[in-house]
Amino acid sequence: MTKLSVNVNKVAHLRNTRHMEVPSVTWAARTALDAGAVGVTVHPRPDERHIREYDVYAIQEVLKETAYAGREYNIEGNPFEGKYIELVTTVKPDQCTLVPDDPGAFTSNAGWKVSENRERLIEVIGDLKKHCGRVSLFMDADPDEIRLAKEVGADRVELYTEPYADAWGTDEQDNVLRRFIEASKAAQKAGLGLNAGHDLNLDNLGYLIQHIPWLDEVSIGHALIADALQTGLKESVKAYLNICNRFTG
């Protein structure tokens, strides 16, 4: 069954526009977990535009609570920039998702070119595996690069789904989906777990899961938090969970 990890970056974004803890990032994490999310995702960027160092530790404390036993912490970031390594080797999350973002990236906009980063990825993944449960690489839907992800030691890959979201509702929709299915089969054949994320929403999520039912996890933030402005966060999480549950056994 495809699990949902809720990314709370955007709650932190709003919180940072005033000097008060409103809205609370830990409240959002708890609400998402109480609604049934498998876990919480954060992306502590070097400029701390949204998730700040203290948020990372505060969410760790939430996930230590008995009520959330078995839920997962997914921390995203570029291991070669900022304080990512320091944070994850201290917090020891269930999953480290490595993303090749430049420090000033507007948002995540590409997957790893493993072919151009083999040696340093082998080293950093080997180190991270001593501190976290799984290492996932944020990847474009490129079967060749995905096969290399296995070779450098990744446990999972996360398909960067912005191209899929951009094609949604256009004539290119099914051509792009086919690329993602091919990439997903390459991950499956390589023995990699499969995650997906970026710009997934209530409109495009079901079709993706329906065609890639072996998807282990989606991490969703931007659209889910935007939807929550209309429905409330608990109902927004439940709406995404309903889609995850509907299309997988």
Ligand X SMILES: NCC(=O)COP(=O)(O)O
Q: Please, which residues bridge with residue 219 across strands?
A: 5, 197
Is-catalytic flag, 43? yes
Q: Does 219 bind ligand X (CB under 6 A)?
A: yes
**Applying CB under 6 A, does 217 fall inside the site for ligand X?**
no
Binding mask 154-173 for ligand X (x = CB under 6 A): ----x---------------
Annotated binding residues for 3-amino-2-oxopropyl phosphate:
7, 18, 199, 221-222
> Which of ligand DXP, ligand X, none does residue 220 bind to, with CB < 5 to 8 Å depending on kind?
ligand X
Active site residue 72: no
**CB within 8 Å of 90: residues ≥ 6 apart:** 57
> CB of 222: closest distance to ligand X in angstroms?
3
* Cis ω for the linkage preceding 23 (within 30 of 0): yes
DSSP H or E segment with residue 158: strand 156-160
- Residues numbered 22 to 41 that lie near ligand X (CB under 6 A) are 41
Of the residues 72, 76, 140, 216, which one makes contact with ligand DXP according to CB under 6 A:
76
Count CB neighbours of 239 within 10 A.
16
Known binding-site positions: 7, 18, 45, 50, 107, 199, 221-222
Does residue 7 belong to the site contacting ligand DXP (CB under 6 A)? yes
3-state secondary structure of 218: strand
Residues contacting 140, CB < 8 A, separation 6+: 110, 111, 159, 160, 163, 183
Instruction: Please tell me the distance from the alpha carbon of residue 87 to that of residue 123, in angstroms, as a whole number.
Output: 18
Ranges of beta strands (E only) in 199-249 are: 217-220
Q: Which of 61, 107, 213, 235 is the binder for ligand DXP (CB under 6 A)? A: 107
Closer CB to ligand DXP, 17 or 66, in the complex: 17
What is the nearest approach in angstroms of ligand DXP to the Cβ of residue 107?
3
Contacts with ligand DXP, 19-58, as mask; x by CB under 6 A: ------------------------x---------------
Residues 6+ apart with CB under 8 A from 2: 209, 213, 215, 216, 217, 218, 244, 247, 248
The site for ligand X (CB under 6 A) is made up of: 7, 41, 158, 197-200, 219-223
